Amino acid sequence: MTRPKAEPEVLVDNDKVAVTKWSFAEGAETGWHRHGHDYVVVPLADGKLILEEPGGGVHEAPLGFAKPYFRPEGVEHNVVNGSGGPFAFLEIEIKR
C-alpha cells in the first residue's frame, strides 16, 4: 500500500534550532527517518498519529492542540496520520 507523503515546510533553520511544519493529508506518512537532534513536537490540532517502529512495533499517540511533547535524539520511526482527516504539527529540533 502506498501512502501519500506528509509535506514539510521549513520555517526556521539556523545554528541553534530547526522548526518544520509538517502537514499531513488523511493517512499520509513522513517516511522512515532517524532524528539527529533532541526535538519537541507541538500539535496544531487534536489528532492521532500512528508510530511505526523498527522491528515491526506500532503504537498510537493521541495528541492535543498545543500540548507539546519532547523526544531525545536517536528516535527512529515512520509517522502516519491516523486522525481521520488533515493534521499538522510543528517539529522543533534543538541543535547543539
Q: Mean pLDDT across the stretch 23-36?
A: 98
pTM: 0.94
| DSSP category for residue 29 | B
d(CA 35, CA 22): 15
**Statement: residue 20 has pLDDT above 90:** yes
Q: How far is CA 61 from each of CA 10, 17, 88, rounded to the nearest angstrom?
A: 24, 24, 14
Q: Which three cell numbers stand for residue 92?
A: 522543533
Q: Which three cell numbers stand for residue 50?
A: 500512528
Q: What pairs with residue 29 in β-bridges?
A: 5, 80
**Statement: residue 81 has pLDDT above 80:** yes
The single residue listed with the C-alpha cell 500512528 is 50
In the chain the domains, ranked by start, together with CATH numbers, are: 7-94 (2.60.120.10)
Q: Mean pLDDT across the stretch 18-47?
A: 98
**What residues contact 46, with CB distance under 8 A and at least 6 apart?**
63, 64, 65, 83
**Statement: residue 1 has pLDDT above 90:** no
Q: What pLDDT, on a 0 to 100 scale, did the predictor assign at position 96?
A: 85
